[in-house]
Amino acid sequence: MFQEEKNHVIEVFEVEEEDLRQSLVDYLKYGKLPNDPGRRTDTRRRATHFIYYKHTLYRRSFEGIFLRCLSDDEKVRAMKEAQSGICGAHQSGPKQHFRINRMGYYWPTMVKDCIDYAKRCQACQFHVNLIHQPPEPLHPTVASWPFDA
């Protein structure tokens, strides 16, 4: 007569993306490699450019300078500071990349992230290069002789 109601409970957990720095820290600090053979080779190969010192991961740059590896929220703060901070200059993505490198920071997708950040910056879009060419078609001229001006 009475139907029993069934309640379904679904739990949702946020899955954090695996931080690429963590496999390097595990390898440099403990000598532990990932279980996946592809990532194992990649971690061993990439670890030659990194050092782990005082709980911070650094990457050795081409010039021999140690650049601090940043997490996701730290890289957003670094881009914001380089773009519109006290000494910020609203520059294009590649120039912002070099500026952040000179500040001593590194993350693997730095160039792409800087270009995307500059595309979203309202001040950068307002002062973007203006096209001074009028929007009308070109009028070709026909030369009577070849190479005649």
The answer as to whether 24 is a domain residue is: yes
**Taking 70 as the threshold, does the pLDDT of residue 135 lie above it?**
yes
Same domain for 110 and 74: yes
- Look at the chain and report how many structural domains it folds into: 2
Host domain of residue 48: 18-69
Q: Sorting pLDDT into bands at 50, 70 and 90, what band is 17?
A: very low
User: CB pairs under 8 A, 24+ apart, for 119-125?
Assistant: 119/93, 121/83, 121/84, 121/90, 123/84, 123/90, 124/83, 124/90, 124/92
**Matching residue, tokens 């690429």:** 20
Structure tokens at 19: 């931080």
Same domain for 62 and 40: yes
Same domain for 84 and 124: yes
Condensed to tens digits (0 to 9), the pLDDT of residues 61-91 reads 888 899 999 988 898 999 888 887 777 777 7
Radius of gyration of the chain (CA): 26
What pLDDT, on a 0 to 100 scale, did the predictor assign at position 104? 92
The answer as to whether 137 is a domain residue is: no
Q: Sorting pLDDT into bands at 50, 70 and 90, what band is 15?
A: very low
